[in-house]
Structure 1
Amino acid sequence: MHRAPGTSVRLKLTLSYAGFLMLAGVLLLGAVWVFLLRYVPDRALLDPARTSFNGVFPVRSNLLHVFAPRAAAVLAFLLLFGLVGGWFLAGHMLAPLTRITHATRLATTGSLSHRVRLPGRGDEFRELADAFDTMLDRLEAHVAEQRRFAANASHELRTPLAVSKALLDVARTDPAHDAREVIDRLHAVNARAIDLTEALLLLGRAERGSFTRERVDLSLLAEEAAETLLPFAEKRGVTIETSGDVAPAIGSRALLLQLTTNLVHNAIVHNLPEQGTVRVDTGVRPDAVVLTVENTGERLDPELVSTLTEPFHRGTERVRTGHAGVGLGLAIVATITRAHDGTLVLTPRLEGGIRVTVELPATFPHAGRGRPASPAG
């Protein structure tokens, strides 16, 4: 935004300080003058030439003649002192703002590693500097995350394209090759590329927060996700159990359903080879509604669990099972949770498997109605 040049804040503070000092001086001298006039007679009681030696006050005409030049000298001194002192005082007071401005200019050039780190006790400038440093920390982390995401997304998108090109080259160079096999493999690769693209679009939509908010009951979304994935769970020998209370929240029904579906799907895929269990529970707390999804499975390292929400991160089990997905399941869950001002916690279970807890702000106090556990499979 283009602005016309104006007076610097330092000069404004200097003039303000000097003006205030001059006003205080004028008021002080005026008060002295009024005080003196109360005790000075209109005419001299003695010979005016001898009044200064005998301790008798001079008449008002002589007093004004003596007082006025000295008052002008005092005001001139106050003006000079106010300008010089105000200039250095304003510079000292605005020094933290100069450091913040320097850090801001560095940030605009792309250097996000610089910090203000203003020393001293807390005041308005230091609160501003600390807030600016916090913003830079988050911005730097976000930019780094976006760069990793872009690099991973490029790699993931390049893989199906490379596979498709290889299959087409084989079909072109080897006419005797089974065309149906090539078509089937191309269909599978294309479907994976479409799934990845849709996941990327969903992730970007959630990150932008460009969705309509409405009242949503997480318990109904949990039941819908369980019913949708029931055939897939039965095929893998996994039982889904849903229970809990009505959990009203404010947000996008489509995104929250995607969140719930991703959690239940991951819980099914990363489970025991047979006779596994997935438990989906909803509840209400004084200030939040809670969705919990936990499953049975192998014991997980807490360090590995803490990285599962990173985009395109895949555990060893996911690769072995043949259900690799696109590596964005939990990343989408984390993004949707943040977009709804919620928190996501992943905790490995001691007996194996993982517990995922999503907390979203409650819409209103609710007593809660019980819903008996209903095995879905």
Structure 2
Amino acid sequence: MDRRPGLSIRLKLTLSYAGFLMVAGVLMLVTAWLFLTRVRHIGLVFVPDYRLAVARDFAPLAATSLSFLLVFGLGGGWLLAGRMLAPLNSITHATRTAADGSLSHRIRLPGRQEEFRELADAFDTMLARLEAHVGEQQRFAANASHELRTPLAATKALLDVARADPGRPADPLLDRLHTVNTRAIDLIEALLLLSRAGQGSFAREDVDLSLVAEEAAEMLLPLAEKNGVTLETDGDIAPTTGSPALLLQLTTNLVHNAIVHNLPEHGSVRVTTGVRPGTVTLTVENTGEPVSPELVSRLTEPFQRGTERVHTDHPGVGLGLAIVRSITRAHHGILTLTPRPAGGLRVTVELPAGTTPPRHL
């Protein structure tokens, strides 16, 4: 939710403390003024014009006292508010960490039981349950996928033998079964990759996104030529840290989607890499049919496709962008999908910058 910027809680508490202190000081000084002006002597010395003397001597003292109270109230209030709100900063940091996909972080706020610590403990309990639930789902998907690989591989082998038998007449049913079996195998492999990326269990090393983009483009160039799509790569060296295999899969998925979801003819795909302060970017932009913002917001969900027109004999399983999102999150990156005004899509992956890697994968 977008909100207008406002004063921080710490500043509000500081102003409240200082304001309360100032009001108390004013009341104290007014009380002293009333007392002094009703008495006809100051100390033990009688002063004929006592009101003038009181005003002359009391006003500077009152101004100095109020100034001191204001400075003291602001400084003390700022320190007290910061100390009181320190647990809230820890809770905010944990919330942002969880929002980035890391459910293993815990606040573990020390100290005795009070409101902030009750909130922190409740948040830790929620994170533990979420982590257990997500881990259970990932393990189930991985185990189910592993169990399905063996019968699908056996079925594929039998179908390949039957199709290669020279003495067997051509049977369109075998070709259909082979296509369905291939799609099922691809789906299982995609689910395994999605589970692996979601768990974040991979070794990290230096990777240059520009080299990854070149390798993905070279791999998919025959597909682009087959569909009449111009494929271009450009950009600077973009060093980051992560899994070379997963980042290559991410880039391959993006380029593959950009090729197959394109114009019927004379389409184009442009892959660029860049460097920003603290981050590196990979951008894949393609021509194509107009894509509504509502559809773009759902494209990263599993089994979603951007258009029914797919220019390839094997349209995929609908997990391409879901895998891209999972890999991006596992690398602590940001995935942005933007529809192009002339049609097509612009996808940008922003990852934390790393050291410059050697010029090889």
Q: Same fold (TM over 0.5)?
A: yes
* Residue 135 of structure 1: aligned partner: 127
Q: What does residue 191 of structure 2 align with? A: 200
2:350 maps to 359
Q: How much has 1:363 moved relative to structure 2? A: 1.1
Query: Counterpart of 2:202?
Result: 211
1:272 positional shift = 0.7
- Computing the radius of gyration from Cα coordinates, the structure with the larger value is 1
**Cα distance 1:141–1:244, how it changes in 2: closer, same or farther (>3 A)?**
farther
1:244 aligned residue (235, 258, 261): 235
CA contact (8 A) 1:318 1:324 kept: no
Residues 206 and 303 of structure 1: CA distance in aligned 2, closer, same or farther (over 3 Å):
same
Equivalent of residue 190 in structure 1, options 166, 175, 181? 181
Q: Shift of the alpha carbon at 1:314?
A: 2.1
Residue 269 (str. 1) matches residue 256 (str. 2)? no
1:213 aligned partner, one-letter code? R
> Which of 203, 209, 222 is residue 213 of structure 2 equivalent to?
222
2:117 is equivalent to residue 125 of structure 1: yes
AA partner of residue 347 (structure 1): T
- Quickly say closer, same or farther: Cα 1:139–1:307, change in 2 above 3 A: farther
- Matched to 1:206, the amino acid is A
Q: Secondary structure of the residue that 2:171 maps to in structure 1? A: helix
Q: How many Å separate the matches in 1 of 2:134 and 2:292?
A: 26
| Aligned 8 A contact 1:286 1:365 in 2 | no
- Matches of 2:322 and 2:131 in 1, distance apart? 19
The alignment yields a C-alpha RMSD, in angstroms, of 3.6
Instruction: Please tell me the residue identity of whatever aligns with 1:334.
Output: R
1:348 to 339, 342, 347: 339
Give the TM-score normalised by structure 1.
0.53
Give the Cα–Cα distance (whole angstroms) in 2 for the partners of residues 140 and 357 of structure 1.
31
Gap runs ≥5 in structure 2: 1-113, 163-167
- Is the contact made by 1:266 and 1:329 (CA closer than 8 Å) also made in structure 2? yes
Paired residues for 1:83-162 under 5 Å: 124-125=116-117, 127-128=119-120, 131-132=123-124, 135=127
- Three-state SS of the structure 1 residue aligned to 2:257 is helix
**For the residues of structure 2 that align with 1:138 and 1:245, how far apart are their CA atoms?**
40
CA deviation profile, 1:119-150 (whole Å, cap 9, x unmatched): xxx9632551574487389669969997xx97
Does the 8 Å contact 2:260/2:315 carry over to 1?
A: no
Aligned mate of 2:276, from 285, 308, 314: 285
CA distance, structure 2, for counterparts of residue 299 and residue 143 of structure 1: 38
Match among 225, 232, 240 for residue 223 of structure 2: 232
* Mapped partners of 2:208, 2:283: distance in 1: 14
1:141–1:228 CA distance, 2 compared to 1 (3 A): same
Q: Deviations over 1:55-81 (max 9, x none)?
A: xxxxxxxxxxxxxxxxxxxxxxxxxxx
Distance 1:349 1:200, change over 3 A: same
**Contact 2:227–2:311 at 8 Å: present in 1 too?**
no
Q: Who is 1:333 aligned against?
A: 324
SS of equivalent to 1:351: coil
| Higher mean C-alpha displacement, 133-142 vs 323-332 | 133-142
Q: Describe the shift of the 1:134–1:300 C-alpha distance in structure 2 as closer, same or farther (beyond 3 A).
A: farther
Amino acid at match of 1:260: T
Specify the SS of the correspondent of 1:317.
coil
Q: Distance in 1 between matches of 2:355 and 2:115?
A: 37
- Structure 2: distance between partners of 1:319 and 1:236: 10
Q: 2:285 pairs with 282, 294, 315, which one?
A: 294
Distance (whole Å) between structure 2 residues aligned to residue 365 and residue 344 of structure 1 = 22
Structure 1: give runs of 5+ residues left out of the alignment: 1-121, 172-176, 367-377
Work out the CA distance in 1 between the residues paired with 2:336 and 2:234: 20
